Structure 1
Amino acid sequence: MKHYFLGLFIFMLILGGCKSLQEKGTDQYLSGQYQYAINTFSQILEEDPENEEANQIIAESYRLSNRIENSADYYQKLIDIEPSFERYFFLGQSLKAQQKNEEAKEAFENAKSYTQDEALLARTQREIESINLAAGIENYWPYHELVNYRELNTPGGDYAPIVSENFLYFTSARQASGIYPATGTPYTKLFRARAEGLRVDVGGIQALPEFPNEEGLNQAAIAISPDGNTIIYARGNSTSPKDLPETALFASYFRGGGFTLPIWLPVNEDENWWNSTPAFSPDGEVLYFASNRPGGYGGIDIYKATKLANGDFGNAVNLGPTINTPGNELFPRPTPDGKFFFASDGHPGYGKLDLFVAESDESGKQVVKNLGENINSPADDFGIFFTNYPKEGFLSSNREGGIGDDDIYYFEDKTPKPKIVNVLLNVFTKQRVAGEPDQVLDQARVVLYDGNNKQIGGDFSNSNGRVRFTLEPQADYTIIASKGGYFSKSVPYSTRGKTPDPATLIQDVTNVSLDTTIVLDQLILEKSIVLENIYYDLDKADIRPDAARELDKLVQILKDNPNIRIELSSHTDARSSDEYNLDLSQRRAESAVNYMVSQGIDPSRLVAKGYGETQLIIKNAQTEEEHQVNRRTEFKVIEIKE
């Protein structure tokens, strides 16, 4: 993808045989033939290693042809001759591209000593902070794996893949007809092959059939509209002085059964501006592209242009400083969920171009994240395209270990299948029988609710009083059991802490069996039921905290059984006067009723009754324990509404 950083001057100087080697190299450099200039000035350095112009032009030629990692020795030699801000700054960028981060930071710090320009100082500090921030980058997709598509790649450049209508389109140096003098690499053309997802018919690769590839220039970075009717691609770097001076966007349209010959897009605006790496929005109404036009934030910025009434794209707008930096941003890729992927060497990363995503955080603010080291490398990583967003797709990289220059890679989500834990809960329904062990209660209706109070299961208990539910681990539920003639009862149930950690499991599926029992009380009219542990301070009717906790149980019974009306009664012992005990018990009963009303119970469902000492259980009580039996709070159902 090094061609994307390159422009070519309007004309090529015809070198005469009478020129000196130094003049020849200078002409090559000025005409954008960077690789030729490197070769020429390397000959000069063999005889004169200290030649300042030779070191300068080789360093700049590597930088301008996107090979800045090769320029460190030359910038260091220039610094030894005469240090300057630019020489230290570009040395820092070269060292950063080599992942020599501490040396790069030292070079950037030295650069600060040679300028007082606030913009340059800010840019240098940004480079230092970028190196520091890169150390804390986390993988955006921890389980995505990247694989070189070796069967698809060649020893030359292969990059910028996209998929449209079951074809993979990409840029490649195969079948090249000439050498691009700026880099010394073959010119590129557009190709396609049938594809289904990540599977590509590598035996059926053909040159782009929609329109002919041109000779003697680079054709690259293709975009196809969602409806398949518009092709936009980058074209440039021609050696002909009659051709356009810069890389520009061209479009071909499907008309009358075929595609038109490509035409120059108005969105380029100026033929001297570099425009490339196009991409359509998911609905095809917006065109994103990269450009070095004036007014941006750095070298190359990403812009967007909306579709006009005549079908062209216009009114290009810079995406702003959140995405664009003083460095280079290109290869945009918007996705249907509003995220925006792109390549950049200006945001904190691992060296040269890395892949990033811009997305909204919890507050709605747009933030940019590096995709991490399982996607990015110290080399150039760019041109992401999703075949199944976000689980799989393609991207391009010239990282070590590839087949050629730029290679096409595919990525897949290899997230391990989660270990499944099924919680099998056996709910047993029983009935309370006075003086006997609890007995099985069959045909009780048992209903299960999730943490959002949504019913997710229900059945009648069998002859053994059992109902079985399948629950999720680490979740909260409510179980309600009911049967005619019995108080309905709701009980909370949680599986938290009751299942093994999935990370410790070996089998894909593990079943955990748990049991719980719900005991129902018979609902009998006018039968008094003692509320245990309802205590009052001496001669007082206030509800104590411990009594409130017990009354909450009665509140729950009333909520579980909305069709009953009860009398709540209070009883005293016989150690004060009848009149005093009657008044005290009435106040206590009313206090208890008032508390339950405060907890949401309709007052019409409650009757407060104080009996004083008129209903002693143990007459002639002598001990404190016997008096306590007489001092009690009871309730009884006085009405069951149908």
Structure 2
Amino acid sequence: MKRSLLLFFLVALLGSSCTSLLKKGQKQFSSGEYQYAIGTFSRVLEKDPDNKEANFYVAESYRLSNRVERSSVYYEKLVEEDPTFENYYRLGQSYKAQNKNEEAQEAFEKAKDLTLDDNFLRLVNHELAVLSKVGEIKDYWPYLELQNYTLLNTPGPDYAPILSEGYIYFTSARQASGIYPATGVPYTKMFRARAEGTRIDVQNIQALPEFRNEEGLNQGAIAISPDGNTIIYARGNSTSNKDLPDVHLFASYFRGGGFTQPIWMPVNEDEFWWNSTPAFSPDGNTLYFSSNRPGGQGGTDLYKATKLANGDFGNAVNLGPQINTPGNEMFPRVMPDGKIFFASDGHPGFGKLDLFVAEPKEGGGYEIKNLGENVNSSADDFGIFFTKYPQEGFITSNREGGAGDDDIYFFEDKTPKPKIVNVFLNVTTKEKKEDGSEVILPQTRVALYDATNKMAGGDFTNQNGRVRLTLAPDETFSLIASKSGFFTKSITYDTRGKTPRQEELIQDVTNITLDTTIVLDALILEKSIVLENIYYDLDKADIRPDAAIELDKLVQILKDNPSIRIELSSHTDARATDAYNDALSQRRAESAVQYIVSKGIEADRLVAKGYGKRQLIIQNAQTEEEHQVNRRTEFKVIEIR
């Protein structure tokens, strides 16, 4: 009997103890003291691991204090006993934050089967779509290298650095007084140190000197206007009932030789809305920030507010659904080229917050890109700032291997410098003699033009008829050779495919020497020059395709030599009557002239003349080959203007 009574009293005492702890934990949870609530409910779970209420509050406490990755073991307990949409959805979010994408997908699929609510379906479908695209992510800067700034970081949080007027400003829990009950880590303050680029004077870090950091609350995520006259930062999480209930933006202005005491900004609009992570546009006329105000896409969204006539910022506008998601977007950074860098857990990523870039598209809108695995991790990655855009700067991350909490990292783009290829082209100029031989033509001017018809070099050939020009690899050029008494001649020269590819180069500088020859014809008035392969169909004057190819060469000669005027003549063989041959040759000559005019040559530079059979080269021709020699088209220069 005594033994039974003792057991009864022990059970009653245990039940009373659990009830007391549950009430205490609920009060802590309701007050936002999530870390204290976790401790209290953990004591309940030590005695009753399956306690549904305790598992729920521990899971939610971790989620609401930005540690959702630690909540999965508690949500796993909940879905066993209470398989609801919300429990499976939160479990999926916890797996996703740990980069356990297969488990996350399975949890989201189960959540989807447990609801018909359109809003819930929108949320879970978004998460499934995000998971399906993770495998498509590529490194935005393939050669970027990231390194922990170990001399700057402490075991507590250090995050969101910016540079202004030779100083780095950042948020840190060093010199903290008091513990933030939601996370169990010290409250944060703002600090600065001298800096040049990513080099920081870590020996002389001081608390923000412009105005005093307050005690017993978090302050940080600082922004400084381009002119250095305005400081905006986030302030909140006070445990005082007399303070503001949420995180808000405060501003301090440089007035009369010093900065004013920070004041609450009207852009916050409502004391129950969360507003944080401010950043200025490059010109200082727009303020970007993150807020959970109503009307957004969900979670925290990015907004922009314009500078008003009185110096305040107002008329906040949501950046829209291309950038904002049902998740959280924060820590914007707007660059002069219009790109917006930001942190998000709602776009395809590797876990919690990842860094993204929104690239403006032609015609409006943005293309969103994850910066890749060489920047992001499964932990929180945020707060990018460029000291030299886009080659170097800082980010913040609480990834494994750091000093203990949020750490500041510096990065540098180590893209290897391309190896240099010098292309030297040896040009030889020659003259074509009457007998068909070619001899050196010295003192000829050779001009080089690039693909945009911009002059890229040139000089006169030496006594050996040679000149060396420097060309770029993988490009197309024009060479124009000219000398008094000769037809000017242009040729195209292509260096594409004539040099090794970058990956094949061994030396930092590789010299490639190429050769080409330009042959000029003497420009003699009234000297006939036969155009080869100008054929016409029998008894016709139409320009055939094969004849057009040859006439195009004459077009080029006329373009290269704009000061000449020519006669284009057509000749027949000795067959048929004089009258017939004269008329046919005239029609053919006129047809050739019309073709040349259609290619942009002025008509007054051309004279068409049909000679019929009056200027035979071979008298008494017998064979078809001999007749073909007589059937020819010629041109001669009749005037040099």
Normalising by the residue count of structure 2, what TM-score does the alignment of the two structures yield?
0.95
Q: 1:436 to 1:555 in 2, by over 3 A?
A: closer
CA contact (8 A) 2:534 2:546 kept: yes
Deviates more, 1:48-57 or 1:461-470: 461-470
1:66-215 equivalences in 2 (<5 Å): 66-215=66-215
The answer to whether structure 1 residue 593 and structure 2 residue 621 are counterparts is no
The one-letter code matched in structure 1 to 2:407 is: D
Q: Which amino acid aligns with 1:125?
A: N
Query: What is the aligned partner in structure 2 of residue 345 from structure 1?
Result: 345
Distance in 2 of aligned mates of 1:541 and 1:307: 75
> Matches of 2:82 and 2:618 in 1, distance apart?
110
Letter in 2 for 1:232: I
Q: Look up the match of 1:560.
A: 560
1:514 aligns with 2:514: yes
**Following superposition of structure 1 onto structure 2, how do residues 231-250 of structure 1 map, counting pairs within 5 Å?**
231-250=231-250
Tell me if the contact between 2:460 and 2:467 (Cα under 8 Å) persists in the aligned partners. yes
Residue 227 (structure 1) aligned with residue 227 (structure 2): yes
Q: Matched residue of 1:135: which SS?
A: helix
> Using the alignment, how far apart are the partners of 1:149 and 1:532 within structure 2?
75
Q: Provide, for residues 507-537 of structure 1, a one-character-per-residue CA deviation record: whole Å limited to 9, x for no partner.
A: 1111111111110000011111111111122
Q: Distance in 1 between matches of 2:272 and 2:542?
A: 89
Q: CA deviation at 1:19?
A: 8.6
CA distance in 2, matches of 1:537, 1:409: 78
The corresponding residue for 1:4 is none
Instruction: Write the distance in 1 (CA, Å) between the matches of 2:365 and 2:188.
Output: 40
1:401 aligns with 2:401: yes
Residue matched to 2:265: 265
Q: Tell me what 1:361 maps to.
A: 361
For residues 156-196 of structure 1, the C-alpha deviation after alignment (integer angstroms, 9 at most, x for no partner) is 11001010001000001111111111111111111101000
Counterpart CA distance in 1 for 2:150 and 2:107 is 38
* Equivalence for 1:430: 430
CA apart distance, 1:436: 5.5
Does the 8 Å contact 2:322/2:365 carry over to 1?
no
Are 2:64 and 1:64 equivalent residues in the alignment?
A: yes
Distance 1:26 1:413 in 2: 49
Counterpart mapping for 1:309-324 below 5 A: 309-324=309-324
Take 2:370 and 2:271, find their aligned partners in 1: how far apart are those partners? 33
Q: Which residue of 1 aligns with 2:13?
A: none
Match of 2:133, SS state, is helix
Q: CA deviation at 1:392?
A: 1.2
Letter in 2 for 1:69: E
Match of 1:451 in 2: 451
Aligned counterparts of 1:449 and 1:21: Cα–Cα separation in 2: 85
TM-score, normalised via structure 1 length: 0.95
- How far 1:256 moved relative to its partner? 1.8
Does 520-529 or 322-331 show the bigger shift?
322-331
Q: Equivalents in 2 of 1:345, 1:451: separation in Å?
A: 47
| 1:272-293 deviation per Cα after TM superposition (whole angstroms, max 9, x unaligned) | 2211111111111111111122
Greater alpha carbon shift after TM alignment, 552-561 vs 567-576:
567-576
SS at match of 2:155: coil
Compared with structure 1, are the counterparts of its residues 430 and 526 closer, same or farther at alpha carbon in structure 2 (3 Å cutoff)? Answer: same
Higher mean displacement: 222-231 or 287-296: 287-296
Shift of 1:631: 1.8
In 1: Cα distance, 2:574 partner to 2:114 partner: 100
- Alignment of 1:467 with 2:467, yes or no, is yes
Give 3-state SS (helix, strand or coil) of 2:485's partner.
coil
Q: CA offsets per residue over residues 522-578 of structure 1, 9 Å max, x none?
A: 001111111111112222222211111111111111111111111111222222223
Give the equivalent residue in structure 1 for 2:282: 282
Instruction: Tell me which amino acid in the other structure corresponds to 1:209.
Output: P
Whole-Å Cα distance in 2 between the matches of residues 96 and 636 of structure 1?
81
Comparing 366-375 and 181-190, the one that deviates more: 366-375
How far apart in 2 are the matches of 1:61 and 1:626? 103
- Equivalenced residues, count: 625
- Which aligned segments of 4 or more residues in structure 1 are displaced greater than 3 angstroms? none
Per the TM alignment, residue 257 of structure 1 is displaced from its structure 2 partner at its CA by 1.4
2:180 counterpart letter in structure 1: Y
AA partner of residue 124 (structure 1): V
Tell whether the 8 Å contact from 2:145 to 2:411 is kept in structure 1 after alignment.
yes
The whole-number CA distance in structure 2 between the counterparts of 1:474 and 1:348 is 38
2:547 matched residue in structure 1: 547
Deviations 1:393-412 (A, max 9, x none): 11111111111200001111
Q: Report if the CA contact (8 A) 2:18-2:44 is conserved.
A: no
SS of the counterpart of 1:110? helix
Partners of 2:382 and 2:159 in 1: CA distance: 9
Letter in 1 for 2:229: N
Say whether 1:604 aligns with 2:604. yes
Identity of aligned residues (%): 73
SS in 2 for 1:536: coil
For 1:540, the aligned partner's letter is K
What amino acid does structure 1 have at the position aligned with 2:357? V
What is the CA deviation profile of residues 131-151 of structure 1, one whole-angstrom value per residue up to 9, with x for unaligned ones?
111110122222222111111
Which residue of 1 is the match for residue 633 of structure 2?
Answer: 633
Instruction: Report the aligned-residue RMSD.
Output: 1.5
Q: What secondary structure does 1:58 align onto?
A: helix
Is the counterpart of residue 38 in structure 1 residue 38 in structure 2? yes
> Could you say what secondary structure the match of 2:543 adopts?
coil
**SS, match of residue 515 in structure 2:** strand
Structure 1 counterpart of 2:6: none
| Structure 2 equivalent of residue 7 of structure 1 | none
Deviation (angstroms), 1:295: 2.2
Match of 2:12 in 1: none
Measured against aligned partners, the alpha-carbon deviations of 1:55-96 in whole angstroms (never above 9, x if no partner) come to 010000000011101101100101111111110000000011
CA distance in 2, matches of 1:343, 1:320: 15
Give, in whole Å, the separation in 2 of the partners of 1:296 and 1:588.
Answer: 76
Structure 1: gaps (5+ residues): 1-16
The answer as to whether partners of 2:342 and 2:357 remain within 8 angstroms in 1 is yes
Distance in 1, matches of 2:364 and 2:304, equals: 21
